[in-house]
Amino acid sequence: MSRAVRFHEFGSADVLKIEEVHLGQPGPDEILMSVEAIGLNRAEVVFREGKYLERAVNFPSRIGYEASGIVEAIGQGVKDFKPGDKVSTIPAFSMAKYGVYGDAAIVPAAAVAHYPDNLDKFQATAIWMQYLTAYGALLEYGKMTEKDVVVITAGSSSVGFAAVELVNCVGATSIVTTRTQQKKQALLDSGAKHVIVTDEEDLAERVMEITAGKGASIMFDPVAGPMLKSLADASADQATIFEYGALSMTTTPYPLMIALKKGLNVRGYTLFEITGDKEKLHRAKSYIYEKLKTGAIKPVLDKTFKLENIADAHKYMESNEQLGKILVSVN
Amino acid sequence: MSRAVRFHEFGSADVLKIEEVHLGQPGPDEILMSVEAIGLNRAEVVFREGKYLERAVNFPSRIGYEASGIVEAIGQGVKDFKPGDKVSTIPAFSMAKYGVYGDAAIVPAAAVAHYPDNLDKFQATAIWMQYLTAYGALLEYGKMTEKDVVVITAGSSSVGFAAVELVNCVGATSIVTTRTQQKKQALLDSGAKHVIVTDEEDLAERVMEITAGKGASIMFDPVAGPMLKSLADASADQATIFEYGALSMTTTPYPLMIALKKGLNVRGYTLFEITGDKEKLHRAKSYIYEKLKTGAIKPVLDKTFKLENIADAHKYMESNEQLGKILVSVN
């Protein structure tokens, strides 16, 4: 028997329960892994609330995208992994079906990857969601070059930190937003070139100041709502605004007149465009693996919780106090 | 002295007055042309109302983007034109400064072009606004190929007809929307592959039917407002929705969740992105000139008004009864 986090109804963090489950053996093209560490994502909070792109269809539902651990068994047709391999998961599956919160998980073999030796089990849980999300927008679609000025909102999230690292990898200029002074220094220390404190400073005004009136060429935003208008105001002509989340949970007015004047592209985006495309995923994985191996990028880790305290870990994520990845240690 | 249409305040069609003006001689890089015919655009209605991208700054203001006629004089530095040349205008100037409604106009030489011999003076006024607008979105940015399914809203406008012609030029599939049955047959006759009557049929449902559930890959829409959500519903994954106008005059909600799920591009666009870029304009002009010369595309013309009745011509445009270009004959 394994321990798994499941929930029997949508709701607050307290709906998460640790339960005994029988996982059985991996099916064709699946692997069974023991889980050593789990990385938390905002997607899981929203999934738990019943507001995510994917909705749990049967209760109790499993949950969780990112875990690292050891391959215990492989299903029919699995070629790239063998028992004993150290792997971590790529969020390219249904959470309801394959959710990885627990001490073991069965996942599709196509959704796991070996991780570089220079990473520990915690860092290994903080690779694919954050770097694939940032890579897909900024590099695969955004074709970012050193000439780009990139505005990164919600900069203290794990994806925010990852985006700053990729901006620095290509030598572009990052402008990171955060609501209060509290995290400003940490963001600068982690490599952000400029930080705008949105409770105190006007986003568009500051971006125009930094760019000598030209505006930013790429925006990378999981907030939406009224933020979209601010980003449009801060945009250069023909900028691309990537919307990759719905954190504001309010309606999002489309800034039509500014979009017409500036020729703006507002691009809805999730990493599933990358994970669902073999070729794009391969390109992204190679790039990220290489950068991790050389140390050019390195996951920023926040607090570690115990599996029994998974509800507290979710509450902590909802507090927005974190800087980088919130972790769960298993055993 | 010349006769020019001017207005002294923003308002309904009746603010348009025919007045005697002294044009003088063309300045450097300008030409003076006698105007034989004028083509009307929705932009001019909105400009007259004070709601266009450009706003008249001084009254009385001139107005008008498209005219055909004869070069009468050239300013210093003008090389490509000589008196006697038959030309028509490209809307690449300030209407307030250069507006062409009248029996003569001074315009930048960069904003006029010779037109093919097989076009008459009326057809010649109906080239650049409509074909450049459609070309820029569908070909320059949209990279349309024969595999694309293109939804064209407001299909009975001059730009709508032009878009259908360009879709047919590359062998893609057009789906044109119109509000009532009234224009359906005319749209089919003019080359539209499918016509959706939006007062009677659900846009997304019909597009999904036509595309076997896949959705359309390019949307070309001057309406915005709630139309954007309908277009997102009708989109294929990773479709591009070009918004090139604000006809609905209501707020435009951004369909965030659909955009995330489908990876949609919502691209604000005006032809000024093309007219303001020498290289892009050259590419577009060559393509359009060639297609006009061979008869592959041919402007669809509606009613012709006399210059004295310019206010009636504007009222007719506002009635939305037209099919293609509304014209004004001068002299």
Residue A286 lies in a domain: no
User: Parallel, antiparallel, or unpaired: how do β-strands A30-39 and A194-197 relate?
Assistant: unpaired
What's the structural domain count of chain A?
Answer: 2
The pTM for the full model equals 0.94
Are both A138 and A210 inside the same structural domain?
yes
So what's the pLDDT on residue A57?
Answer: 86
So what's the pLDDT on residue A290?
Answer: 96
Residue B283 lies in a domain: no
CATH number of the domain encompassing residue B247: 3.40.50.720
Say what percent of chain B tops pLDDT 70.
100
Query: Which residue segment(s) compose the domain that B85 sits in?
Result: 2-126+301-329
Cβ(B113)–Cβ(B224) below 8 Å = no
So what's the pLDDT on residue B48?
Answer: 97
Q: Is B150 helix (H, G, I), strand (E, B) or coil?
A: strand
Are both A259 and A322 inside the same structural domain?
no
Q: Do A266 and B244 touch (CB under 8 A)?
A: no
Q: Is B301 helix (H, G, I), strand (E, B) or coil?
A: strand
| pLDDT band with cut points at 50, 70 and 90 for residue B53 | confident
Digits of tens for pLDDT over chain A (331 positions)? 999 999 999 999 999 999 999 999 999 999 999 999 999 999 999 999 999 989 988 999 999 999 999 999 999 999 999 999 999 999 999 999 999 999 999 999 999 999 999 999 999 999 999 999 999 999 999 999 999 999 999 999 999 999 999 999 999 999 999 999 999 999 999 999 999 999 999 999 999 999 999 999 999 999 999 999 999 999 999 999 999 999 998 999 999 999 999 999 999 999 999 999 999 999 999 999 999 999 999 999 999 999 999 999 999 999 989 999 999 999 7
Cβ(A39)–Cβ(A325) below 8 Å = yes
Of B191, B140, B185, B186, which Cα lies nearest the Cα of B162?
B191
Angle at B87 between CA B85 and CA B89, to 5 degrees: 150
Are both A142 and A255 inside the same structural domain?
yes
CATH number of the domain encompassing residue A29: 3.90.180.10
A23 touches B at CB < 8 Å: no
How far away is chain A from the Cα of B123, in angstroms, using its nearest Cα? 27
Cβ(B36)–Cβ(B115) below 8 Å = no
So what's the pLDDT on residue A79?
Answer: 96
A265 touches B at CB < 8 Å: yes
B261 touches A at CB < 8 Å: yes
A266: nearest CB among B261, B266, B273: B266
Q: Which residues of A touch B251 (CB under 8 A)?
A: 253
- What tens digit of pLDDT does each residue of B161-177 get? 999 999 999 999 999 99
Are both A317 and A219 inside the same structural domain?
no
Are both A123 and A133 inside the same structural domain?
no
Q: Average pLDDT, stretch B236-241? A: 98
Are both A105 and A217 inside the same structural domain?
no
Are both B78 and B89 inside the same structural domain?
yes
Residue A49 lies in a domain: yes
So what's the pLDDT on residue A138?
Answer: 98
Residue A295 lies in a domain: no
Q: Average pLDDT, stretch B221-229? A: 97
Q: Is B162 helix (H, G, I), strand (E, B) or coil?
A: helix
B246: nearest CB among A251, A257, A264: A257
Q: Do A245 and B252 touch (CB under 8 A)?
A: no
List the alpha helices (DSSP H) in B136-255: 158-170, 184-189, 203-210, 227-233
Residue A103 lies in a domain: yes
So what's the pLDDT on residue A195?
Answer: 98
- What tens digit of pLDDT does each residue of B313-326 get? 999 999 989 999 99
A243: nearest CB among B243, B245, B256: B256
B265 touches A at CB < 8 Å: yes
CA distances from B81 to A48, B77, B277, B282 (A): 69, 10, 21, 17
